[in-house]
């Protein structure tokens, strides 16, 4: 049986924009593992009911083992498969968990402020009511009121100094070579890369230069991802 990942997609199933699915996909390639992706929409909950929860990524390994949650998938990969480590030892994994929380609570809100309406515009019409109602309940305002590109860019700039400082001294967050921490953060940027057409960073920013290196990994896996602006 092929190794499968259920991967969030837009109405155009080639548009794969989930930060969490990108984390898992890059981690798989880091381990040298092949992966068949299956497009999944927000309301396709029955398709992953076997996993006991309702979110992607969901991995079904070749032996039918089921794993969910991008961080748990990366931990599982280190435990099950030899080869280049994603996290390494327990201390490194604990530090990576901090980076996961930083990226989700500081970086992601800025990117969503920039791109939430872009996401809404590319998802399948059958998902739009769910997406709008759930996000507007969370934000306490309409998607259109929530999106504010200028404010989002300001939030992003305030979020980036720790990442920028790290990348001024090394090519990747994890040092000379990319590993789990890089994928945890870069996955967040992939949402904007796929759905949003505007520039987020100046070309001379160390974060932008790292972003370019990440796009080129694994034969340009991320760089070659279909983007909404080009469809």
Burial bucket for residue 62 (CB in 10 Å: 0-12, 13-18, 19+): exposed
Residue 1 has pLDDT above 90, yes or no: no
For residues 74-94, give the mean pLDDT.
95
- What's the CATH superfamily of 4-80? Glutaredoxin (3.40.30.10)
Could you say which of 3.90.79.10, 1.10.1740.10, 1.20.1050.10, 3.40.50.150 is the CATH number of the domain covering 90-230?
A: 1.20.1050.10
pLDDT digits (tens, 9 = 90+) for 95-150: 999 999 999 999 999 999 999 999 999 999 999 999 999 999 999 999 999 999 99
Domain ranges of the chain: 4-80, 90-230
pLDDT of residue 83: 86
- Interval 156-165 mean pLDDT: 98
Residue matched to tokens 């070309």: 203
Paired residues of 207 in beta bridges: none
What confidence tier does 230 reach under pLDDT thresholds 50, 70, 90?
Answer: confident
What pLDDT digit, counting tens, does each position of 201-223 carry? 999 999 999 999 999 999 999 99
Confidence grade of residue 224 (pLDDT, cut at 50, 70, 90): very high
Domains 4-80 and 90-230 in one fold = no
Proportion of the chain above pLDDT 70, given as a percent:
100
Cα–Cα distance, 32 to 27 (Å, whole number): 9
Taking the C-alpha atoms of residue 25 and residue 37, their distance in angstroms, rounded to an integer, is 9
What Å distances lie between residue 24 and 48, 125, 166, 169, 187, CA to CA?
A: 16, 26, 23, 26, 9
Strand ranges (E), 142-215: none
Q: Which two tokens stand for residue 71?
A: 């961080």
The 3-state DSSP class for residue 140 equals coil
Is it the case that residue 80 has pLDDT exceeding 80? yes
């Amino acid at each position: 049986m092929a190794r499968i990942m259920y991967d969030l997609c837009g109405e155009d199933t080639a548009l794969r924009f989930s930060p969490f699915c990108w984390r898992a996909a890059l981690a798989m390639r880091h381990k040298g593992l092949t992966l068949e992706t299956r497009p999944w929409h927000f309301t396709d909950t029955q398709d992953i009911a076997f996993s006991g929860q309702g979110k992607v990524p969901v991995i079904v390994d070749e032996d039918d083992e089921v794993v969910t949650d991008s961080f748990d998938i990366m931990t599982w990969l280190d435990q099950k498969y030899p080869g280049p480590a994603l996290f390494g030892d327990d201390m490194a994994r604990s530090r990576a968990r901090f980076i996961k929380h930083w990226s989700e609570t500081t970086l992601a809100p800025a990117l969503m402020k920039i791109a939430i309406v872009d996401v809404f515009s590319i998802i399948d019409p059958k998902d739009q009511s769910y997406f709008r109602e759930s996000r507007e309940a969370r934000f306490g305002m309409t998607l259109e009121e929530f999106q504010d590109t200028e404010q989002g860019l300001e939030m992003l700039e305030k979020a980036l100094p720790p990442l920028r400082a790290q990348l001024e001294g090394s090519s990747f967050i994890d040092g000379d070579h990319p590993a789990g921490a890089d994928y945890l953060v870069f996955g967040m940027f992939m949402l904007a890369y796929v759905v949003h057409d505007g520039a987020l960073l100046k070309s001379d920013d160390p974060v932008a230069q790292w972003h370019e290196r990440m796009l080129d990994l694994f034969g340009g896996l991320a760089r070659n991802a279909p983007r909404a602006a080009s469809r």
